[in-house]
Amino acid sequence: MAESAAVEFRIDRRSGVATYLQIVQQTKQALRLGLLEPGDRLPTAREVVEATAINPNTVLKAYRELEREGLVEGRRGLGTFVTRSLGGAAAADDSPLRAELAAWAGRARAAGLDRDDVSALFTAVLDSTFEGDQNR
C-alpha cells in the first residue's frame, strides 16, 4: 500500500477562499510541484481534520472535487490516491526557471517587500502576461 504523501494543508480562515477550495488549490499546487505523484495517498479526512480542525465533510467535498477533475480516486477502505500529475519540467526543484524565480523572490524580500506585496506583484504580472488565456 502506498504511503501517505507528505502534504500538509494550511487553512487560512481570513483569506475569503472557501476551505474546501483551499484544499483543492493546495493539492493542485503539490501536483504541479511534484510533491504529489500518481500512486501517492492523500491524508485521510480524519488526518486533515486533526491537523486543521475543519469539518470532515469539507475535506470530503474537496476530495470529491479533485476526483471529479480526474486527479485522484477514492478506494474504499484504502484512502484517496493521486491518479495523475500536473507537474511540468519547469516546476521541478532543479529547474532553471524555478532558480530564477527564487532569486527574484529573494531580491524582492531584500528590497523590503513582504509576502503579500510579492504575491500581489507576481499576480499582477501573471495576469498581464496571460491576459486573454482561458487557463489562468
Q: Which pLDDT value is given to residue 94?
A: 67
Dist CA 5 CA 122 (whole Å) = 29
**pLDDT band of 133, cuts 50, 70, 90:** low
- 135 or 25: whose pLDDT is higher? 25
59-81 pLDDT, tens per residue?
999 999 999 999 999 999 999 99
Dist CA 110 CA 126 (whole Å) = 22
Res 52 pLDDT > 90: yes
94-132 pLDDT, tens per residue?
678 878 888 999 999 999 999 999 989 888 888 888 887
> Which CA distances in Å does 11 have to 20, 55, 82, 95, 124?
9, 12, 21, 28, 24
Q: Which pLDDT value is given to residue 136?
A: 44
**pLDDT band of 26, cuts 50, 70, 90:** very high
pTM above 0.75, yes or no: no
